[in-house]
Structure 1
């Protein structure tokens, strides 16, 4: 081997030696391990850390608290998928002697869960026939096409659709419409969707795209109004159904929570919050009341810009074609379901359920009836061609229903069923083990504080918690405690529970707070900082509207001035000898 070759080999060896990373220190290895396995650590350490709770006080309420704290930690950290965490009571409640397997399983399939299932089937049928898109485009076509009017139409449509289908689906549906309108306006020179920001340290790098204020306003309106609209009906969001289940299991002798009263009580705050959102976004991003500002100038597109926006909406609406039998049938069943809910047992007249039977009928019956009809009624009336001798004129094969099982199987959020059931199991387990009564007794000194102050504290706490984890998860943790607090201080349970439930839905500041926030952040390239800044004001005005309206108008609906007799002895509460 020549000296020249030896020199080349030595250079290669030296280069490889220089490329070898130095060995990691113990601290660095620990950091890497924690980054990779922190969920597993929480999973294992949490129950071990709580063992002293069982050793020091091996009572039913201590064992129940052990289970609930584990679930709360797992829910907040999501070290296990949230639906799987929700199944823990099925194992630990029977093992710890808190509730039998049959009673615990009953929490996962009750009237509230069936309302959830039926409502989702109805919502998926609406999506399947594209009825929601026809409603959205029809309204936006009608309201006009200036930025202010388009934003108002977007807020209104998103709110309305979110009352009946999931907030996530409502937001996902509106995002493509927003993108199409803004893209066409940008193409014709009426404002940019994004601003390209070059990296001064790396000029060759692709510039970063940041949304303009106009883009932020449109995308944020879709996220905000879907969350607001979800509070309008019992089926609008899982948080409302969580409240219904926990309330009815904690106070089984109460009249319960029906669709009509919830709609009557929540509708005004939903409308006002949507209107305030429309105003706020215009002030914040469109330069409203600042006519000479750059924001106001960029938000003015003129008659030509309005014509372009209107053309986009018109083309999308025409692409839907004429209204089909599928859409008309789904819309009819949807309206029938609402009417059945409204007049099942209204307070102002005798309801249809009271006319036909003395047996108690709840809200799950109408929606399940409609859901079954949606599988039976065909989406194409091909049967009318049965007598036609020429099969080419329509009758070739039978039509599927308005919705089919494959759609339900693929799109139904089954995990949310488990999450709701886990919350109901926690509520019933707390009552059965007397944990609820112990918590209520410990909160009795709060009766010396003004109820309004307590209400503000619990609502702010719920709203802050929901920014970091699932709305339904927060409701499952906080509502049973709030229910027992109401009993302890002798105030109508709905006085606290309904505002807290609404507060759980109003997470506007972080992408993890709600799926709508995450969707618009990804679709509109909105930074977390921008979302936090934009969401601070909506959190304030929605809180004020909830408190003011519920303590005035809500009192008339639910008669909150007196502490009801059915709340004096809640299940597992006062009057239960096992807890004395």
Structure 2
């Protein structure tokens, strides 16, 4: 009876959590609303944060719907007016995200991402280790600019097709053995070795009978090798998508959340722009990606390919290469639309990198191309929107106008469609991310305006005696663990505002805690539910949860160690983490 009750409760766990959490946490605002009214706003804000944290972690309702809670509870509970809360849902970083997504959708729309991936595979080669490296390089590069989910969804079918081509002859051999009605195979385990008992039915000779077990035994070894190779390739794609997104400010949601909250909570800080994030995160991404390749190739391919390995034979290599080349050739030569998207993409990256050259001191003026504009008015969102706007106007092929019109073109002259249209963008745009990121800003703003941030800063000041690097390591581990069971954007939205106040409380540069925490939110390799790339490769089959846990545990540890090394080396010249800046000082918990 008890078991059945628990089983039914588990089936309705989301409904249980939906009602239980608000009721269980309700004494918090009720007590302070009656007994200690001076602390009511802080308690009410904490109540909202608790509800959202549990709803996000257990996905009680869609995460985008949970993101709307501040718009409801902050005004109702007297934390903030509705107008102030609403402003947080369209910040500068969200504009940057929209512009970046428009460029990413344009890249997908013209199939440029597929051309890049196939070209990388052709350059790197099709030997097992090289093939894994090729998939990781292509996936990581694409994840820097387009969404990790879209990159993984595009790469996994290519990987499956390449694997099928690598083992094509093996499949034929398997079919021949299975279709041989003259032989019945019974597997017998003798002294721990898999042997095959061959029973002759239609007058096979002893010589024929003795040869059959050998053929089937080789096929069993190759099938096991294929299964291992398939797991390795799929995990390579998932891990590379997670790692690659950390290199750029637009690569994944947590990066943008950190950048925006840094500017919101510390308005006098230098902030985080595309160039500074890239110069800090890209080297660590490359190192982590290389370590991931070594680990996965060693685990699933071995130190060297065994003799007679089907996927290493010349025939297999050329077959896989021919297949990749065939698919690449089917794309045809680079079209006018692809060339135009490349131009806009390169232009955007150029504008991002050279917007503000912080290493050149020109006083109050920015040293980049924004020197010619009002100081502080142009951010990374401006060039993103410029290029995004141009994509809707720039023609997708040569216009049928005067000299641009070919002689055999009998159509009437007129405009041609742009590189991107609204229907395509609307279909592929993850609109829920806008609400999710906006809710993170709303939470942070509510924590600040309610006074909860000052209270947290006072509590965290008790940790001031602990070494900063130890706190940073604990924070990164905590964020990575939470991300294994929750969306990385949601865990970042919960932790970053708290870490900002922790930095104030212990008198540590906020960059030292907030930037590593944002990056560590992408280091979730152990469970399928941790990130969309993990879920996609898991859904393809062949990968068990135990495989992901075994493989991802070491990757989690290694990636966090690399991150710690990078923040304590590159973080010094880029973010000046060894000093506590005046702009982070708080009057309630001053640091001298």
Q: TM class, shorter-chain normalised?
A: 0.7 to 0.9
CA distance in 2, matches of 1:391, 1:76: 61
Confirm whether residue 357 of structure 1 aligns to residue 365 of structure 2.
no
Pair 1:55–1:352, CA change in 2 (3 A): same
Q: Counterpart in 1 of 2:300?
A: 285
1:409 to 409, 422, 426: 426
Corresponding residue of 1:251:
266
Write the distance in 1 (CA, Å) between the matches of 2:532 and 2:259. Answer: 22
Range with bigger deviation, 379-388 or 475-484:
379-388
Instruction: Give, in whole Å, the separation in 1 of the partners of 2:499 and 2:512.
Output: 10
Please report how far the alpha carbon of residue 281 of structure 1 lies from its aligned counterpart in structure 2 after TM superposition: 1.2
Change (3 A) 1:192 1:489: farther
Residues 467-478 of structure 1: matches in 2 within 5 Å?
A: 467-478=484-495
C-alpha distance in 2 between matches for 1:81 and 1:30: 26
Aligned to 2:320: 309
Are residues 374 and 388 of structure 1, via their aligned partners in 2, closer, same or farther at CA, if it must alter by over 3 Å?
closer
Unpaired runs of 5+ residues, structure 1, are: 1-24, 201-208, 576-580
TM-score by length of 1: 0.88
Instruction: Confirm or deny: 8 A CA contact 1:469 1:513 kept in the other structure.
Output: yes
Query: In the TM superposition, what are the counterparts of 1:200-279 in structure 2 within 5 Å?
Result: 212-279=227-294
Task: Identify the match of residue 401 of structure 2 among 381, 384, 397.
Answer: 384
Q: Which moved more, 1:461-470 or 1:393-402?
A: 393-402
Task: Please say which of residues 33-42 and 461-470 is displaced more in the overlay.
Answer: 33-42
Which whole-Å CA distance do the structure 2 matches of 1:224 and 1:297 have between them?
29
1:86 aligns with 2:67: yes
Using the TM superposition, give the Cα deviation of residue 356 of structure 1 relative to its aligned residue in structure 2, in angstroms: 2.7
Q: Which residue of 1 aligns with 2:337?
A: 326
1:12 is matched with none
1:54–1:387 distance in 2 versus 1, CA, 3 Å: closer
In structure 2, C-alpha distance between the alignment counterparts of 1:315 and 1:155, rounded to whole Å: 21
Q: CA deviation at 1:199?
A: 12
| Residue 50 in structure 1 maps to residue 25 in structure 2 | yes
1:163 maps to which residue? 144
The alpha-carbon distance between structure 1 residues 394 and 176, as it changes in their structure 2 partners (threshold 3 A), is farther
Q: Answer whether contact 1:124 1:408 (CA < 8 A) is retained.
A: yes
CA-to-partner distance for each residue in 1:240-293, whole Å, 9 max, x for gaps?
1111122111111111110000000001000001111111111111112xx4x7
Asked whether the equivalents of residues 89 and 426 of structure 1 are also in contact (C-alpha less than 8 Å), the reply is yes
C-alpha distance in 1 between matches for 2:47 and 2:404:
68
Residue correspondence of structure 1 range 408-427 to structure 2 within 5 A: 408-427=425-444
- Residue pair 2:227, 2:542 contacting (<8 A) in 1 also: no
- Correspondence for 2:346 among 335, 344, 352: 335
Query: Is the 8 Å Cα contact of residues 311 and 317 (structure 2) preserved in structure 1?
Result: no
Please tell me whether residue 526 in structure 1 is matched to residue 543 in structure 2: yes
Q: 1:142 to 1:391 in 2, by over 3 A?
A: closer
Instruction: Spell out, residue by residue over 1:371-401, the C-alpha distance to the aligned partner (whole angstroms, 9 max, x if none).
Output: 0000000101223358869784454653211
Task: Please say which of residues 226-235 and 385-394 is displaced more in the overlay.
Answer: 385-394
Distance 1:387 1:109 in 2: 41
Q: Deviation at 1:525? A: 2.7
Q: How far 1:354 sits from its partner (Å)?
A: 2.2
1:227–1:505: 8 Å Cα contact kept in structure 2?
yes
Is the contact made by 1:382 and 1:394 (CA closer than 8 Å) also made in structure 2? Answer: no
* Superposed displacement of residue 304, structure 1: 2.1
Separation of aligned partners in 2, 1:43 and 1:518? 25
Judge conservation of contact 1:382–1:395 (CA < 8 Å) in 2.
no
8 Å contact 1:133–1:173 — kept in the other structure?
A: yes
CA shift, 1:481, in A, is: 1.1
Task: Measure the CA separation in 1 of the matches of 2:112 and 2:401.
Answer: 24
RMSD of aligned alpha carbons:
2.5
Q: CA deviation at 1:168?
A: 0.8
Do residues 96 (structure 1) and 80 (structure 2) align? no
Distance 1:34 1:359 in 2: 54
Counterpart Cα distance in 2 of 1:394 and 1:181: 41
Structure 1, 296-305 or 166-175: larger mean CA deviation: 296-305
Which residue does 2:116 correspond to in 1?
135
TM normalised by structure 2 equals: 0.86
Alpha-carbon distance change, 389 to 498 in structure 1, aligned in 2, over 3 angstroms: closer
Deviation at 1:237, TM superposition (A): 0.2
**Which residue among 159, 163, 169 is the counterpart of 1:182?**
163
Q: Deviations over 1:399-434 (max 9, x none)?
A: 211111111111111111111011110101000011
Q: What is the distance in 1 between the residues matched to 2:404 and 2:550?
A: 65
Match of 2:202 in 1: none
Distance 1:298 1:63 in 2: 64
Q: Distance in 2 between matches of 1:103 and 1:378?
A: 41
Structure 2 counterpart SS, 1:107: helix
- 1:507-545 CA distance string (max 9 Å, x none): 000000001001111124311111111111111110110
Q: Does 1:37 find its partner at 2:12?
A: yes
Instruction: Give 1:10-25 correspondences, 5 Å limit.
Output: none
Bigger shift: residues 418-427 or 521-530: 521-530
Alignment correspondent of 1:541: 558
Q: Distance in 1 between matches of 2:89 and 2:242?
A: 25
Residue of 509, 516, 519 corresponding to 1:499: 516
Unaligned runs of 5+ in 2: 34-39, 179-185, 189-222, 361-366
CA distance in 1, matches of 2:438, 2:121: 38
> Would the aligned equivalents of 2:167 and 2:316 in 1 still touch at CA under 8 Å?
no
Give the counterpart of 2:446 among 418, 429, 440: 429
CA contact under 8 A between 1:137 and 1:317: conserved in structure 2?
yes
Aligned residues: 535
Output one character per residue of 1:113-154: Cα deviation in whole Å (capped at 9) or x when no partner: 111111111100000001111111111111222111121111
Note if contact 2:400-2:413 (Cα within 8 Å) is conserved in structure 1.
no
